[in-house]
Amino acid sequence: MFYALILVIAYLLGSIPSGLIIGKRFYGIDIREHGSGNLGGTNTFRTLGVKAGLIVTIMDILKGTVAALLPLFFSVEPKMFMLVAGIFAVIGHMYPLFANFRGGKAVATSGGVLLGYDPLLFLILLAVFFLGLYVSKYVSLSSMIAAIIAFTYTLFTGDIPLMIVVGVLAFFVIYRHRANIVRIKNKTEPKIKWL
């Protein structure tokens, strides 16, 4: 019962629609009606600018981190339960209860889960993401590359739960970017201009 409560809290944390809150509260804009219609950080950057985009991205990362750390707050073992709670936060982010189940693409919140569980992996993926962004100028492609690298990294850790959960998170990220993959192939995917 206690385990189930943590998972529900993790899902509700993930369901907090950061982009919607920041857009409506401070800009009077529902970002779901602009750009890609997505609630994540990338669409916030494009729709509301750098400051709002950074705030939303950090909020989305922290949702995953706090969810992953919930079992520690409640002294729940085993450690792998941190990853399970993290998955529920990511599901909440993708399908948020508080935003009609239309959420983000799992990237930032998945990163937040890894920040809570394996900070070194998070830092490696951050570097991979920005390197990919510098070379390709595609946020979506950089996110998918980071997801693949994350899974590859876990193959060498001997941490089976981490490998399984990162595999699931990588699948979420790639699956949620299906339309982006098509646009990249068609050369219609927007590129960033600030890096």
Residue ranges per domain, the chain? 2-185
* pLDDT at residue 154, rounded to an integer: 96
Amino acid 75: pLDDT: 80
Res 139: pLDDT: 95
Q: Distance (Å, rounded) from C-alpha 190 to C-alpha 138?
A: 7
* Alpha-carbon distances of 64 from 30, 179, 181, rounded to whole Å: 23, 24, 25
Predicted confidence at residue 78, as pLDDT, reads 80
- In whole angstroms, give the CA distance from residue 6 to residue 24: 29
Per-residue model confidence (pLDDT) at position 39: 86
pLDDT of residue 76: 75
Provide the 3-class DSSP secondary structure of residue 28. Answer: coil
- Rounded mean pLDDT, 52-72: 95
Q: What single letter denotes the amino acid at residue 4? A: A
Residue 74 has pLDDT above 90, yes or no: no
The span from the first CA to the last CA of the chain, in angstroms, equals 48
Residue 38 pLDDT class (50, 70, 90 cuts): confident
Name which of 154, 159, 60 is nearest 110 in CA terms: 60
User: Is it the case that residue 177 has pLDDT exceeding 90?
Assistant: yes
Residue 194 has pLDDT above 80, yes or no: no
Would you place residue 193 in the very low, low, confident or very high pLDDT band (cuts 50, 70, 90)? confident
Confidence at 182, pLDDT banded by 50, 70, 90 = very high
Model confidence at 163: pLDDT above 90: yes
User: 16, 123, 11, 15: which is closest to 67 by C-alpha?
Assistant: 11
- CA angle (131 as vertex; 187, 42 as ends), nearest 5: 60
pTM value surpassing 0.85: yes
**194 phi, psi to nearest 5 deg:** -100, 0
CA distance 112 to 59: 9
CA–CA separation, 5 and 2 (whole Å): 5
Encode pLDDT of 86-134 as tens digits: 999 999 999 999 999 999 999 999 999 999 999 999 999 999 999 999 9
